[in-house]
Structures are given as C-alpha cells and as structure tokens.
Amino acid sequence: MQLPALYLKRGEDTRLRGGHLWVFSNEVDVQRSPLSGFEVGQACAIVDSRDKPIGVGYVNPNSLICARLVNRGLEHALDKSLIVHRLKVALALRERLFGEPYYRLVFGESDGLPGLTVDRFGDVIVAQTTTAGMERMIEAITEAIVKVIKPRQLWWKNDSSARSMEGLPEYADLGVGEPASEPMIVREAGLEFECDPVGGQKTGWFYDQRGNRDCLEHLVKGKRVLDMFSYLGGWGLRAAAYGAGEVVCVDASQPAVDLITRNIERNGLADRVSAVRADAFDYLKALREQRERFDVVILDPPAFVKRKKDLAEGRIAYRRLNELGMQALERDGILITCSCSYHMPRTVLLDGVQQGARHLDRQAQLLWNLQQGPDHPIHPAIVETEYLKGFVLRILPA
C-alpha cells in the first residue's frame, strides 16, 4: 500500500499501543508530517517516532482528534473488504446475544470501526457516520452492509451534532431500497414499537437501555408508573407489559407523543397507558403541587452534560430532576434514574441523588447499577465508550 505517513512525536505512541484508537493534533510531529498536507478524511499510515508503523487510519487535519486508527499493521487497506470483515465479527456477537435481529450492530471504536454507528431493525438498517474518514468511505460501507446483511432499506441518519466538529454537513437520506408505506418497527420483549428513522432521535431507538428495562419485571406489578422523557414509550410500555396497573408516559415532543400513542394502541395497552406532552421539569413541579404520587418514577433524560465544561451546570440539573422525581414518589417508592452524558461521572450522579434525598428528609437504597447493553460493548482502553450509567433505587422516609 502506498499511504502518506502521519508521524507521531516521541512517546506519543504509548496510548495507541495500549489499545486506544485516537491521535490528537498535539501528538503529531508536524515537522515530518504537516497536518496541512493531508486531505480531510484521507487514509494514512500512523507511524511512531522511530519509524515503526502502528497501523492504518484516517486523518482530519481540522479536528482536535486529528486521526483515528482503524487497523493495526499495514497488511490491510481501508476498503470494503475490511469493513465486511468487521461487520461479520460484530454480527457474530449480536447473533449470539439476541434471538431477533433488533440491535446495535456496530458501536464505533468498540467494533473496530471508529466513527460508524449501525442499528438493525429486522431488514431495515439505520446507519450514521460522525467522522470525515468514515464519511469518505460511505460508498464502501454501503456496499459492505448490503453484502453482509442484505437489508430491504438502508437509511443514513447523518444529522448528529458530532459531525459539526468534523466539518461535515447534516443530512438524512435513504441509501438503499425504496421508500415504504409501512412504518419501521422495533421488537423488544414481545412488544412492537413504531420508530421514525429520519425524524426520530439518534438512529430511531435506544437499544442501549434494553437490558436495563428488563429490571421492571420485578418492580411494577400492580403499581402506578411514571415514565419521564418517554420518547417512544420504551420504559412505560415495558412496565405495562409486566403488569403495571397504570402508566403515564411524558415527553416534550408532540411527534414523540403521537408515536407513543400509536405504540400503546399497537400493543393493546390503551386501558393502562396514557401519553402526555409536557416539559419534564414543569410536569414534575405540577405533580408536587398537586401532591400526586407514583410507585415507580423513571427518569431517562437526554444528555445534560455534552461537554466537560458543562459539568457544573449539568450536575445541578440532574440533582434538581432527581429531587423532583423523588417528590413524585410514594413513601416507599422506586426511582430509576439514568444519564447518557459521558462527562457525568457515575459517582457524581449518585451523589446528587443522595443529596436530593437528604434534602427531602428521605433515604435511598441502591438496588441495581445500570449501564449500556452488550450490543454497545465497552472498549477497555477507551473510557469514552462507556457513557451510560444509571441506578435503580428504593426511596424511603428517613
């Protein structure tokens, strides 16, 4: 292979040799390999200061993370064949884990394809590229997905805010197949949920919480359940299917509430589940004023801490939210609280819950720690791949 070399400064190969895949711009020996000499998304050989190649990756000279390692050694090019191989390896894990083809098929760095996310909804694929290197390979990725999965449809949901950091435009497009009149469906625990591959959040569904939703089986039978930030009703409808007596699903988005309503009807749960459009903080404050209580309160908000500098403000928001959630609980209630903010440490989230409980003169018992599901595997050398954290807590009077 004839590839331009990206040379690292002395000692800057340690993290890569330890398993990480990112190269930061201040780690590059710009005397030997000026970043300005590379095209955006261009394939390269990443080489240490002693001229020993580490592997093949791609470059974005305009980004803080200026390169990502995709394959160790120089034996394989960044092409369709490599992507096909990585897809097959990822597929083998998911087919071992799940009985039906509904899962996250590719989780970026953890599956050896940094900058690529692929979700599977039966014979429909929704994929997303977040880096210039993967965007440049989008034709090869499409061909590889078609070869390995043979989907009826492949949607490119390239509207993530992360793309702006790579200088990429945002768009959503049908890459393979024909538009269909029937909705896209995800199956989970015997239920069916209608999703929107273009207008929905992320890639349409939050597979990362699937295993966490399983814990509802032991907590909700005959209970009154409040599902905040419900999105498409994943938590709430699962609670109803496990025997909850009443479930209220709340979301600020009218399209989401419309989909929740259709999902309620699709699964025959209209007698026990209702959907409400409201701001979460306003709704919880109204419950407090009305002294309305639930047996189980589920708080699964979007990320409040998207950047490290947002942590101080974000931790206050999480504490306020959890305190309001506890005020909507019966005296002996269950609080399920989550954060998908990578920059929000698990210990800080739990500390905020504890502070809120003490402020309300209540005590908390931690029952379960929650994390992302196994179709979002954590790369041990890349702490950034572990982002979802949560707790199931029993909240009692002091």
Q: Which residues are catalytic?
A: 340
In 10 A of CB 277, how many CB atoms?
15
d(CA 170, CA 284): 34
Cβ(104)–Cβ(87) below 8 Å: no
DSSP-H helix ranges across the chain: 14-17, 80-97, 132-136, 138-149, 210-213, 234-241, 254-266, 280-290, 311-327, 346-359
Per-residue CA distances from 297 to 81, 228, 367 (Å): 47, 8, 15
Cβ(49)–Cβ(9) below 8 Å: yes
d(CA 39, CA 169): 17
Q: Long-range contacts for 217-222 (Cβ within 8 Å, ≥24 apart)?
A: 217/242, 219/296, 219/334, 219/392, 220/244, 220/295, 220/296
d(CA 83, CA 72): 14
Q: Which residues pair with 188 in a beta bridge?
A: 191
Cβ(57)–Cβ(74) below 8 Å: no
Sequence-distant (≥ 6) Cβ neighbours of residue 87 within 8 angstroms:
105, 106, 118, 144, 145, 148, 149
Cβ(224)–Cβ(246) below 8 Å: yes
> Cα torsion for 349, 355, 362, 393, to the nearest 10°?
10
According to DSSP, residue 117 is labeled: E
User: Which amino acid type is present at position 366?
Assistant: L
Name the nearest CA neighbour of 257 among 284, 229, 282.
229
Place of tokens 């950091």: 165
d(CA 258, CA 233): 11
d(CA 192, CA 377): 25
